[in-house]
Structure 1
Amino acid sequence: MPASPVLHLSMLPEYFTDVDHLEDFMSTPTAETVADLQALDGDIAILGVAGKMGITLARLIKRAVPHKRVLGVARFSDPAARERLERWGVETISCDLLDRESVLALPRFPNVIYMAGLKFDAAGREDFLWAMNTLAPAHVAEAFADSRIVALSTIHVYPWSNPLHGGVTEATPPLARPGEYANSVVGRERTFQYFSRLHGTPGRLVRFAYAIDMRYGVLQEISRWVLDGVEIPLETGAVNIMWQGDAINQFARLLQHCEAPSSPINIGNPELTSVRRIATAFGEIFGIEPRFTGTETDCLAVNCDRAAELLGNPVIPLNTMIKWVAEWSKADKPLHGKPSKFEVRTGRF
């Protein structure tokens, strides 16, 4: 498989013609990603690969290092996802990560990116939520004790904070917040840290903010609210948002920056973005006056300076993302139908 071109600003399209165009661009590695993954010792496995971000991440890694084996592991309830991965040269294995024996039977890869978990629609099955977010990580951490493990976490482990104060840093301990999701993800982090200390497993816990794709994410949701004349809630008045392509490039690069014991790192745009500003920008493009409700208060403001120092700033600027999302929304192109629920303040998703 030939090497992929690397991402640079001259490649930015005016808009995306369709899903294939979007996913091809979004899975383009940066020069820094190519260099880091080429210098990385060994092949790479992605566990929980079949989600919104995992598929493009696997494709990006395979494009960055076509000579390495890239393995995608998931239950693959959607056979089309598996077919796409295999078409791009990604090996696949069907596995339920809650089945300890099946996880122990997986081939050992020296580099693991863990993306499995449950957040939405867990009411009435809170036991499954906790199992997915704590028991599955225990199985993986046990099986891959000799690997590097970059594990996805969330900013929801942090307390609300005043966005004018610069955002919470990795030094802020994860706190019990309303709702079982946030608490279960604290459990996920602590599980990986326990096994990391036990076995000396290098790792990173990625406290990730909000990914932006044309088909889902904070920008897509706000654009639809403006177009549909829906009142835009301002209580959660500032957000960290990041182009999904930038995010997955940074996830992959963290394999070269693991620590033992596993340590947290905030991944997201180094600058907070005002929800009011985003809605106003969409309103100017659409010729619609946005409608607002509520007033700005504390939010999940995270400080991503450490990641910016380690990995550099994102490539895709905010105004470009807004322009892309506006065109996609006006053209009524396909959506995932899975809102981020960034405005939810109860902790129940």
Structure 2
Amino acid sequence: MFSSETELEDRLARPSPALVADLAEGAGDLVVLGAGGKMGPSLCRLARRGLDAAGRTGDRVYAVSRWSDEKAAAALAADGVEPVPFDLLGDHDLRELPDATDVVFMVGAKFGTSAAPYLAWVVNAVLPAAVARRYAGARIAAFSTGNVYPLVPVASGGCVEDDPTGPLGDYAMSCLGREQVFAHAAATRGTPVTVLRLNYAVDLRYGVLADVGQAVLAGTPIDVTTGHVNVVWQGYANEVALRSLRHASTGVFTLNLTGPETAPVRRLAARFGERLGRPVTITGTEAPAALLNDATRCHALFGYPDVPLGTLVDWQADWLAAGLPTSGKPTKFAVRDGRF
């Protein structure tokens, strides 16, 4: 399906007619905070193309990041996105950031936070307070995580948005803190907010499917103790993030964002073994509970993901077989004690 990262990026940034229609109803500039992460560049490209298709060619897309990777920033600029080099954790006045009607908050700290829990709290809960003050008059879509929920029985189908949270570990607790900080802004300043509880985005260079597929390709045993997962095509996740801005409210619009399947890791591994021509070694036994989200509300509002799980697995296998680049950053989806 893909022969290069360029082709993958082009597919990720393809706006649907529904996204274009939603964007046509809006006006004003968009600021993406944390745009240099795994999902940020493709979301910015998708937003730029969607705005252009909606006739909003004069509205700007600002991609805020430290931009240590100058090539990535230059590539975005070539696509009409405006990179803004800015260290959000530095001693800077956030008033220096561009004004905007809409904000997508993508900043987060996960890996390494078990050794430095203060980092999780500063990035995930303290920084959002400053952002909420700076953009009090904007609509904000803030990425969160399904880790704010507890592990639940696999047969339950996953947590829904109204279920009690039960974060385990500093990462998950600080992400719930982020949600509450933005909820405070909504309640006290009237800032319309959407919170997106994501489990787990896939773009072929990283994600649960890349983790499982790479293990199969390398002949590494697959531990199925965490035996079931949710995944979703990153292009769909980015589109929902942009479309969800229309639903932002002072009551905080909370949305589980993932695919419709509860995917068995054992079956994923077997499928990769077939596609990659490798034997699969399984260890462990599936635990009765896992981190799972029910995204029925999301699918009712925005439709099902345009790339189904079976296609994602096939794309991922072809990507790995071709030796195309991966991020080298595993998701650690099998972690069960909240320590990242």
Q: Same fold (TM over 0.5)?
A: yes
Contact 1:204/1:258, CA 8 A, preserved across alignment: yes
- Establish whether residue 251 from structure 1 lines up as the match of residue 237 from structure 2: no
Q: Identify which range, 94-103 or 108-117, moves more after superposition.
A: 94-103
Q: Is the 8 A contact 1:201 1:261 kept in 2?
A: no
TM-superposed deviation, 1:100: 6.7
Are the aligned partners of 2:195 and 2:253 in contact in 1 as well (CA < 8 Å)? Answer: yes
**Contact kept? 1:203, 1:260, Cα under 8 Å:** yes
Are residue 325 (structure 1) and residue 311 (structure 2) matched? no
Which 5+ residue runs of structure 1 have no aligned equivalent? Answer: 1-14
Work out the CA distance in 1 between the residues paired with 2:23 and 2:17. 10
What is the correspondence of 1:82-101 to structure 2 with a 5 Å cutoff?
A: 82-99=73-90, 101=92
Distance 1:99 1:261 in 2: 31
User: What is the CA–CA distance in structure 1 between the aligned matches of 2:116 and 2:78, rounded to whole Å?
Assistant: 35
Could you tell me how far apart the structure 2 residues matched to 1:200 and 1:45 are? 19
Q: Give, in angstroms, the shift of residue 218 of structure 1.
A: 0.8
**Cα deviation 1:307-332 (Å, max 9, x = unaligned):** 01111100001111111111111122
Q: 1:240-281 CA deviation, whole Å, 9 max, x = no partner?
A: 111111111111111111121223210000221111111111
Q: 1:93 Cα shift?
A: 1.7
CA shift for structure 1 position 289: 3.0
Could you say what the CA RMSD is over the residues aligned between the two structures, in angstroms? Answer: 1.3
In the alignment, is residue 285 of structure 1 matched against residue 275 of structure 2?
Answer: yes
Q: How does 1:114-125 map to 2 (within 5 A)?
A: 114-125=105-116
Aligned partner letter, 1:61: A
Q: For 1:202, which of 173, 176, 192 is the aligned residue?
A: 192
Percent identity, aligned pairs only, is 40
- Equivalent residues in 2 for 1:1-349, closer than 5 Å: 15-66=1-52, 67=57, 68-99=59-90, 101-177=92-168, 179-297=169-287, 298-349=289-340
Alignment partners' CA distance in 2, 1:86 and 1:242: 27
Confirm or deny: 8 A CA contact 2:29 2:99 kept in the other structure.
Answer: no
Q: Distance in 1 between matches of 2:3 and 2:312?
A: 15
Inter-CA distance 199–348: structure 2 relative to 1 (3 Å threshold): same
The gaps in structure 2 that reach 5 residues or longer are none
Secondary structure of residue in 2 paired with 1:315: coil
1:72-104 Cα shifts (integer Å, max 9, x gaps): 111112222211111111112222223475212
Q: What is the deviation of 1:286?
A: 2.3
Give the Cα–Cα distance (whole angstroms) in 1 for the partners of residues 120 and 320 of structure 2: 32
> For 1:153, what is the secondary structure of its paired residue?
strand
- Classify the secondary structure of the residue corresponding to 1:325: helix
**What is the aligned length?**
334
Question: 1:215, 1:335 within 8 Å by CA — same for their partners in 2?
Answer: yes
CA deviation map 1:165-222 (0-9, x unaligned): 1211101232231x21111111111111111111111111100011111111111111
Large movers: runs of 4+ above 6 Å: none
Q: Distance in 2 between matches of 1:309 and 1:42?
A: 27
State the secondary structure of the residue aligned to 2:93.
helix
Contact 1:148 1:201 in 2 (8 A): yes
C-alpha distance in structure 2 between counterparts of 1:246 and 1:233, whole Å? 28
| Partner AA of 1:163 in structure 2 | V
Q: Which moved more, 1:44-53 or 1:166-175?
A: 166-175
**1:122, distance to aligned residue in structure 2 (A):** 2.7
Contact 1:98–1:139, Cα closer than 8 Å, also in 2:
no
CA distance in 2, matches of 1:17, 1:172: 42
Amino acid at match of 1:240: N
Paired residue for 1:3?
none
**Is 1:96–1:102's contact at 8 Å kept on the other side of the alignment?**
no
Tell me, in whole angstroms, the C-alpha distance in 1 between the residues paired with 2:98 and 2:314.
Answer: 43
CA distance in 2: counterparts of 1:286 and 1:96, whole angstroms: 42
The offset of 1:105, in angstroms, is 2.5
